Amino acid sequence: MQVTATQLGKVFRHNGRETVAFQDISFQIHPGEFFCIVGPSGCGKTTLLRTLAGLETHSSGQLEIRPVNGADAPRVGMVFQEHGLFPWMSLRNNVRFLLEDSPRLAGQDVDAACDRYLAKVGLSAFAHYYPHQVSGGMRQRVSVARSFATEPDILLMDEPFVFLDYQARLALQQQLLLIWEETRKTVAFVTHDIEEAVLLADRVLVLSEHPGRVQGLLDIDLPRPRQVAALRKLPAYADYVERIMSLLQRNSDDAPGSVEAFP
Protein backbone atom coordinates (compact mmCIF):
# COMPACT_ATOMS: atom_id res chain seq x y z
CA MET A 1 0.00 0.00 0.00
CA GLN A 2 1.44 3.35 -1.10
CA VAL A 3 0.22 6.60 0.47
CA THR A 4 1.20 9.94 -1.06
CA ALA A 5 0.15 13.26 0.47
CA THR A 6 1.03 16.46 -1.39
CA GLN A 7 0.55 19.90 0.20
CA LEU A 8 -2.34 18.46 2.20
CA GLY A 9 -4.46 20.85 4.25
CA LYS A 10 -7.61 20.72 6.35
CA VAL A 11 -9.82 23.66 7.36
CA PHE A 12 -12.89 23.35 9.57
CA ARG A 13 -15.65 25.90 8.91
CA HIS A 14 -18.36 26.62 11.47
CA ASN A 15 -20.68 29.61 11.87
CA GLY A 16 -18.63 31.65 9.43
CA ARG A 17 -15.35 30.96 11.22
CA GLU A 18 -12.41 28.95 9.93
CA THR A 19 -9.99 26.81 11.93
CA VAL A 20 -6.93 25.39 10.19
CA ALA A 21 -6.15 21.91 11.54
CA PHE A 22 -3.03 21.34 9.41
CA GLN A 23 -1.57 22.76 6.22
CA ASP A 24 1.00 22.13 3.47
CA ILE A 25 1.78 18.59 4.63
CA SER A 26 3.63 16.35 2.18
CA PHE A 27 4.91 12.81 2.79
CA GLN A 28 4.85 9.25 1.51
CA ILE A 29 4.16 6.01 3.35
CA HIS A 30 5.78 3.05 1.62
CA PRO A 31 4.32 -0.47 1.34
CA GLY A 32 5.00 -2.51 4.47
CA GLU A 33 6.33 0.49 6.39
CA PHE A 34 5.67 1.31 10.03
CA PHE A 35 5.18 5.08 9.87
CA CYS A 36 4.68 7.18 13.01
CA ILE A 37 3.31 10.72 13.30
CA VAL A 38 4.18 12.80 16.37
CA GLY A 39 3.46 16.36 17.36
CA PRO A 40 2.13 18.59 20.14
CA SER A 41 -1.48 18.37 21.31
CA GLY A 42 -3.80 20.17 18.90
CA CYS A 43 -1.47 20.00 15.90
CA GLY A 44 -3.93 17.96 13.81
CA LYS A 45 -2.42 14.46 14.17
CA THR A 46 -5.74 12.73 14.65
CA THR A 47 -7.44 14.81 11.96
CA LEU A 48 -4.65 13.85 9.55
CA LEU A 49 -5.13 10.17 10.37
CA ARG A 50 -8.90 10.48 9.95
CA THR A 51 -8.24 12.08 6.56
CA LEU A 52 -6.15 9.07 5.55
CA ALA A 53 -9.02 6.85 6.70
CA GLY A 54 -11.55 8.77 4.60
CA LEU A 55 -13.43 9.93 7.72
CA GLU A 56 -12.50 13.54 6.95
CA THR A 57 -12.15 15.27 3.59
CA HIS A 58 -9.02 17.34 3.01
CA SER A 59 -9.55 20.97 2.06
CA SER A 60 -6.48 21.42 -0.13
CA GLY A 61 -3.68 19.44 -1.70
CA GLN A 62 -3.79 15.88 -2.96
CA LEU A 63 -4.02 12.49 -1.25
CA GLU A 64 -3.47 9.20 -3.04
CA ILE A 65 -3.85 5.82 -1.39
CA ARG A 66 -3.32 2.99 -3.80
CA PRO A 67 -2.61 -0.71 -3.59
CA VAL A 68 0.49 -2.11 -5.22
CA ASN A 69 0.67 -4.72 -7.99
CA GLY A 70 -2.69 -3.77 -9.46
CA ALA A 71 -4.73 -5.04 -6.52
CA ASP A 72 -8.34 -4.02 -5.92
CA ALA A 73 -9.43 -0.97 -3.92
CA PRO A 74 -7.48 -0.61 -0.68
CA ARG A 75 -8.96 -1.92 2.56
CA VAL A 76 -8.30 0.43 5.49
CA GLY A 77 -8.40 -0.65 9.14
CA MET A 78 -8.37 1.69 12.13
CA VAL A 79 -7.65 1.36 15.84
CA PHE A 80 -8.91 4.24 18.00
CA GLN A 81 -7.88 5.45 21.45
CA GLU A 82 -10.94 3.71 22.89
CA HIS A 83 -11.25 -0.02 22.30
CA GLY A 84 -14.76 0.17 20.78
CA LEU A 85 -15.75 -3.38 21.75
CA PHE A 86 -19.37 -4.49 21.93
CA PRO A 87 -20.05 -5.11 25.64
CA TRP A 88 -22.63 -7.84 24.96
CA MET A 89 -20.19 -9.94 22.94
CA SER A 90 -17.35 -12.13 24.17
CA LEU A 91 -13.83 -11.13 23.20
CA ARG A 92 -13.83 -13.88 20.56
CA ASN A 93 -17.14 -12.74 19.07
CA ASN A 94 -15.93 -9.14 18.99
CA VAL A 95 -13.20 -10.35 16.63
CA ARG A 96 -15.51 -12.71 14.76
CA PHE A 97 -18.10 -10.00 14.08
CA LEU A 98 -15.71 -8.11 11.80
CA LEU A 99 -14.55 -11.23 9.99
CA GLU A 100 -17.84 -12.91 9.12
CA ASP A 101 -18.43 -10.95 5.91
CA SER A 102 -14.81 -10.26 5.03
CA PRO A 103 -14.04 -11.09 1.38
CA ARG A 104 -10.39 -11.48 2.38
CA LEU A 105 -11.33 -14.60 4.37
CA ALA A 106 -13.39 -16.30 1.68
CA GLY A 107 -12.83 -20.04 1.91
CA GLN A 108 -11.05 -19.75 5.24
CA ASP A 109 -12.25 -20.82 8.65
CA VAL A 110 -13.37 -17.62 10.42
CA ASP A 111 -13.23 -19.31 13.81
CA ALA A 112 -9.66 -20.42 13.17
CA ALA A 113 -8.72 -16.86 12.20
CA CYS A 114 -10.27 -15.54 15.42
CA ASP A 115 -8.37 -18.05 17.51
CA ARG A 116 -5.12 -17.35 15.68
CA TYR A 117 -5.17 -13.62 16.29
CA LEU A 118 -6.37 -13.90 19.87
CA ALA A 119 -3.42 -16.20 20.45
CA LYS A 120 -1.07 -13.64 18.93
CA VAL A 121 -2.09 -11.11 21.59
CA GLY A 122 -2.03 -13.65 24.39
CA LEU A 123 -5.78 -13.87 24.98
CA SER A 124 -6.63 -17.47 24.08
CA ALA A 125 -7.53 -18.28 27.67
CA PHE A 126 -9.89 -15.27 27.81
CA ALA A 127 -11.67 -15.74 24.49
CA HIS A 128 -15.06 -16.34 26.11
CA TYR A 129 -14.80 -13.51 28.62
CA TYR A 130 -16.74 -10.28 28.12
CA PRO A 131 -15.10 -6.83 27.89
CA HIS A 132 -16.17 -5.81 31.41
CA GLN A 133 -14.45 -8.91 32.80
CA VAL A 134 -10.96 -8.02 31.59
CA SER A 135 -8.53 -5.12 31.99
CA GLY A 136 -8.27 -2.08 29.74
CA GLY A 137 -5.02 -3.40 28.32
CA MET A 138 -6.65 -6.69 27.41
CA ARG A 139 -9.55 -4.91 25.74
CA GLN A 140 -7.11 -2.91 23.65
CA ARG A 141 -5.31 -6.13 22.70
CA VAL A 142 -8.60 -7.33 21.21
CA SER A 143 -8.82 -4.14 19.16
CA VAL A 144 -5.35 -4.76 17.78
CA ALA A 145 -6.11 -8.43 17.10
CA ARG A 146 -9.31 -7.81 15.18
CA SER A 147 -7.75 -4.98 13.16
CA PHE A 148 -4.97 -7.22 11.89
CA ALA A 149 -7.36 -10.16 11.46
CA THR A 150 -9.41 -8.26 8.87
CA GLU A 151 -6.31 -8.27 6.63
CA PRO A 152 -6.27 -4.51 5.89
CA ASP A 153 -3.95 -3.06 3.28
CA ILE A 154 -3.15 -0.22 5.65
CA LEU A 155 -3.77 -0.04 9.38
CA LEU A 156 -4.26 3.39 10.96
CA MET A 157 -3.70 3.59 14.72
CA ASP A 158 -4.69 6.68 16.71
CA GLU A 159 -2.78 6.68 20.02
CA PRO A 160 -4.15 3.21 20.84
CA PHE A 161 -2.13 2.84 24.07
CA VAL A 162 -2.57 6.34 25.47
CA PHE A 163 -4.86 5.33 28.34
CA LEU A 164 -2.83 2.30 29.46
CA ASP A 165 -0.47 2.12 32.40
CA TYR A 166 3.26 1.91 31.76
CA GLN A 167 3.60 -1.88 32.03
CA ALA A 168 0.55 -2.57 29.87
CA ARG A 169 1.81 -0.11 27.25
CA LEU A 170 5.23 -1.79 27.06
CA ALA A 171 3.61 -5.22 26.69
CA LEU A 172 1.32 -4.06 23.90
CA GLN A 173 4.13 -2.27 22.08
CA GLN A 174 6.05 -5.55 22.02
CA GLN A 175 3.04 -7.55 20.86
CA LEU A 176 2.32 -5.02 18.14
CA LEU A 177 5.91 -5.28 16.91
CA LEU A 178 5.71 -9.07 16.82
CA ILE A 179 2.47 -9.07 14.81
CA TRP A 180 3.78 -6.41 12.45
CA GLU A 181 7.03 -8.31 11.87
CA GLU A 182 4.98 -11.34 10.85
CA THR A 183 2.41 -9.58 8.65
CA ARG A 184 4.39 -6.55 7.40
CA LYS A 185 1.22 -4.56 7.00
CA THR A 186 1.51 -0.88 6.17
CA VAL A 187 0.91 0.98 9.45
CA ALA A 188 0.40 4.68 10.16
CA PHE A 189 0.56 5.25 13.93
CA VAL A 190 -0.21 8.54 15.69
CA THR A 191 1.34 9.15 19.10
CA HIS A 192 2.37 12.04 21.33
CA ASP A 193 4.98 9.75 22.95
CA ILE A 194 8.39 10.31 21.33
CA GLU A 195 9.89 7.15 22.82
CA GLU A 196 6.99 5.05 21.53
CA ALA A 197 7.52 6.43 18.02
CA VAL A 198 11.23 5.55 18.08
CA LEU A 199 10.51 2.05 19.42
CA LEU A 200 8.00 1.25 16.69
CA ALA A 201 8.75 3.22 13.54
CA ASP A 202 10.75 2.90 10.37
CA ARG A 203 10.23 6.65 9.92
CA VAL A 204 8.76 9.41 12.06
CA LEU A 205 6.92 12.45 10.70
CA VAL A 206 7.22 15.36 13.14
CA LEU A 207 4.51 18.04 13.08
CA SER A 208 4.69 21.56 14.47
CA GLU A 209 2.32 23.13 16.97
CA HIS A 210 -1.09 24.21 15.67
CA PRO A 211 -1.71 24.52 12.82
CA GLY A 212 0.24 21.36 12.06
CA ARG A 213 3.01 21.65 9.50
CA VAL A 214 5.93 19.39 8.78
CA GLN A 215 8.90 20.01 11.06
CA GLY A 216 10.94 17.01 9.97
CA LEU A 217 11.00 13.45 8.72
CA LEU A 218 13.34 11.11 10.54
CA ASP A 219 14.55 7.66 9.45
CA ILE A 220 14.81 5.30 12.44
CA ASP A 221 17.75 3.05 11.61
CA LEU A 222 17.48 0.61 14.52
CA PRO A 223 17.75 -3.16 14.15
CA ARG A 224 14.73 -5.38 13.58
CA PRO A 225 13.20 -7.47 14.98
CA ARG A 226 13.04 -5.18 17.99
CA GLN A 227 12.87 -6.04 21.65
CA VAL A 228 11.50 -3.06 23.54
CA ALA A 229 13.59 -3.55 26.70
CA ALA A 230 16.86 -4.08 24.80
CA LEU A 231 16.24 -1.22 22.37
CA ARG A 232 15.90 1.32 25.17
CA LYS A 233 19.50 0.60 26.23
CA LEU A 234 21.02 1.51 22.86
CA PRO A 235 22.79 4.89 22.58
CA ALA A 236 21.23 5.32 19.12
CA TYR A 237 17.76 5.06 20.66
CA ALA A 238 18.45 7.98 22.99
CA ASP A 239 19.91 9.94 20.09
CA TYR A 240 16.77 9.55 18.01
CA VAL A 241 14.60 10.61 20.95
CA GLU A 242 16.75 13.71 21.38
CA ARG A 243 16.55 14.59 17.67
CA ILE A 244 12.76 14.43 17.68
CA MET A 245 12.59 16.48 20.88
CA SER A 246 14.77 19.09 19.20
CA LEU A 247 12.44 19.25 16.21
CA LEU A 248 9.39 19.64 18.44
CA GLN A 249 11.02 22.49 20.34
CA ARG A 250 11.61 24.56 17.24
CA ASN A 251 9.44 27.52 16.47
CA SER A 252 6.90 26.26 13.96
CA ASP A 253 7.27 29.42 11.90
CA ASP A 254 10.95 28.83 11.17
CA ALA A 255 10.40 26.67 8.11
CA PRO A 256 6.69 26.16 7.39
CA GLY A 257 5.88 23.10 5.35
CA SER A 258 9.47 22.06 4.84
CA VAL A 259 10.86 18.59 5.46
CA GLU A 260 14.18 18.04 7.11
CA ALA A 261 15.30 14.49 6.41
CA PHE A 262 17.93 12.83 8.55
CA PRO A 263 20.17 9.95 7.47
Say which CATH number the domain at 258 has.
3.40.50.300
The angle, 0 to 180 degrees and rounded to 10, between the axes of the packed helices 110-120 and 166-183 is 130
d(CA 39, CA 42): 8
Interacting residues of 100 by C-beta distance below 8 A, sequence separation 6+: 110
Q: Is there a domain that residue 22 lies in?
A: yes
pLDDT category of residue 69 using cuts at 50, 70 and 90: low
pLDDT-derived band at 152, boundaries 50, 70, 90: confident
- Mean pLDDT on 36-43: 92
pLDDT value of residue 102: 67
User: pLDDT tier at 263 (50, 70, 90 boundaries)?
Assistant: very low
Does any domain span residue 177?
Answer: no
What's the domain count of the chain?
A: 1
Residue 78 pLDDT greater than 90, yes or no: no
Residue type, 221: D
- Domain span at 232: 1-74+154-163+185-263
Indicate whether 37 pLDDT > 90: yes
Is residue 51 predicted with pLDDT exceeding 90? yes
Q: Is the pLDDT of residue 166 over 80?
A: yes
Provide DSSP, 235-246. HHHHHHHHHHHH
Closest CA to 223 of 240, 248, 206: 240
Q: Is residue 237 part of a domain?
A: yes
Write down the pLDDT at residue 75.
81
Kindly state whether residue 26 falls inside one of the protein's structural domains. Answer: yes
Read off the pLDDT of each residue in 204-228 and give the average, rounded to a whole number: 93
pLDDT tier at 253 (50, 70, 90 boundaries)?
very low
Return the minimum-mean-pLDDT range out of 7-11, 15-19, 202-206, 226-230: 15-19
Task: Assign residue 164 a region (left: φ > 0; alpha: ψ between -120 and 50; beta: otherwise).
Answer: beta
Residue 105: the pLDDT is 63
- Residue 254 resides in a domain: yes
Q: What is the pLDDT of residue 258?
A: 40
In a domain, 138, yes or no: no
Q: Is residue 239 part of a domain?
A: yes
Residue 72 has pLDDT above 70, yes or no: no
With respect to residue 173, please indicate whether it lies within any of the assigned structural domains.
Answer: no
Q: For all residues of the chain together, what is the average pLDDT?
A: 87
**In terms of pLDDT, which residue wins out, 205 or 122?**
205
The structure's pTM equals: 0.88
